[in-house]
Amino acid sequence: MDTLTHALSGALLARATEPERPRADQLPRRTRMWIGFIAAAFPDSDFVTRFIDPLTYLTTHRGITHSVIMLPLWSFLLALLFMLLVRKKYSWRAFVGVVALGIGIHIAGDVITAFGTMIFAPFSDWRAQFPTTFIIDPYFTTIIVSGLIASSLWSSTRRPAVIGLAVLVGYVGFQAVLHQRATAIGEAYAVKHHLDAGQVQAIPQPFSPFNWMIVLPQKDAYYLAYVSLWRSEIPEFPPAGANWLYQVNASYFPVADAIWNRVPRFGASNEVNLAEQVWYSEALAPFRRFAEFPALYRVDHKKDGLCVWFNDLRFALAGRTMPFRYGACRNGTDTVWRIHRLFSDDNGLEILDAIPH
């Protein structure tokens, strides 16, 4: 979830849990909501790892700042900081509950996306996810903003904020139903075509809660389909030069007309041995821990060496260059694989970036 939406959800939760008659030692409404706003944004402070290198950020984002294990410590430390900022006008105890709620709703908001959240860090790097919601969901954000506006208009009661949160939970519950429906579609396709249906996954997509990418992981390949649970007609093919938003929106087909694509894990038959060797090399261990649906992107044969690149199909969108593209390279005289990142600059030129690992 984007940081602003997280922060707004913290403000809404702070308002919804405000005591009807705050005591003198409790936070006034405006302060309480600002604390909830800031606390709910706090877990994304791990963006500072970007300054180390992109892969460190990728593999540590949603780690210790998003951990339920660490939540009590962060709540206490932030409460102390806020107490000092207000020159001890309020005790740390007045802040700690609001801070904990803000951090908690941030963690919950990230668990429902497909990126994965290390809720047990630092003791485990397992990523919890129940992917019901796309990482930027305008409907989700609108519900929160509407709750805050209603709370401002009817300021004598916290009921609008409570209703806003209830609607938000209901919306996520509705998305969960759609997730189950999308998963069932994948399972039905797998059974019909004698594929392994044990790991079918449905990943939320942009623009609509009815848009899903369904993935059927198999031993040597993935079967992917982009479906709309709402559309009954095939969308028009994007015209030449259409922007990527148009291309993405037009890529979701009615269930009956879904196009299932087979994507090999390790490329064509003449690439499999090399790609598999590189994928399981020590160089790619950090990316291997993160990528959920890794697939070979391409093999670059150069005069002075070789590079083997991989995508994570979890983030594949039509008309958009896939993010998080990593690989390993070696030169002609070096047998050691070294990890690199492949990305495009503002002019669309591909850049190979060495990662210091």
Which DSSP letter does residue 322 get?
Answer: P
Same domain, 8 and 116: yes
Angle at CA of residue 176, ends 172 and 177, nearest 5°: 120
pLDDT one-digit tens code per residue, 144-198: 999 999 999 999 999 999 999 999 999 999 999 999 999 999 999 999 999 999 8
Same domain, 281 and 338: yes
Same domain, 124 and 12: yes
The least confident of 49-53, 101-105, 220-224 is 49-53
pLDDT one-digit tens code per residue, 308-322: 999 999 999 877 788
The phi, psi pair for 234, rounded to 5°, reads -65, 130
Of 232, 264, 296, the position where a domain reaches its end is 264
Instruction: Indicate if the alpha-carbon torsion angle 334, 340, 342, 347 is positive or negative.
Output: negative
Of 246, 264, 282, the position where a domain reaches its end is 264
Same domain, 232 and 313: no
Instruction: Indicate if the alpha-carbon torsion angle 32, 38, 41, 42 is positive or negative.
Output: negative
Of 111, 130, 149, the position where a domain reaches its end is 130
Same domain, 210 and 288: no
pLDDT for res 248: 87
pLDDT one-digit tens code per residue, 7-47: 999 999 999 999 988 888 899 999 999 999 999 999 999 99
**Is residue 27 domain-resident?**
yes
Same domain, 221 and 248: yes
**Is residue 155 domain-resident?**
no
DSSP 290-316: H-SSEEEEEEEEETTEEEEEEEEGGG-
Each residue of 282-302: b (16+ CB within 10 Å) or e? Answer: ebbebbbebbbbbbbbebeee
Considering its fold, how many domains does the chain have in total? 3
From residue 158, alpha-carbon distances to 95, 155, 161, 171, 302 in Å are 19, 7, 5, 20, 65
Containing structural domain, residue 294: 272-354
Same domain, 122 and 220: no
Same domain, 101 and 212: no
pLDDT for res 348: 56
**Is residue 222 domain-resident?**
yes
Evaluate if residue 297 carries a pLDDT over 70: yes
Instruction: Give the residue-averaged pLDDT of 250-275.
Output: 94
**Is residue 259 domain-resident?**
yes
DSSP 39-98: HHHGGGGGGGGGGT-HHHHHHHTTSGGG-TTTHHHHHHHHHHHHHHHTTTSS-HHHHHHH
Can you read off the two tokens belonging to residue 259?
């196009």
Instruction: Indicate if the alpha-carbon torsion angle 193, 194, 195, 201 is positive or negative.
Output: positive
pLDDT band at 251 (very low <50, low <70, confident <90, very high): very high
Name the pTM for this structure.
0.91
Same domain, 13 and 110: yes
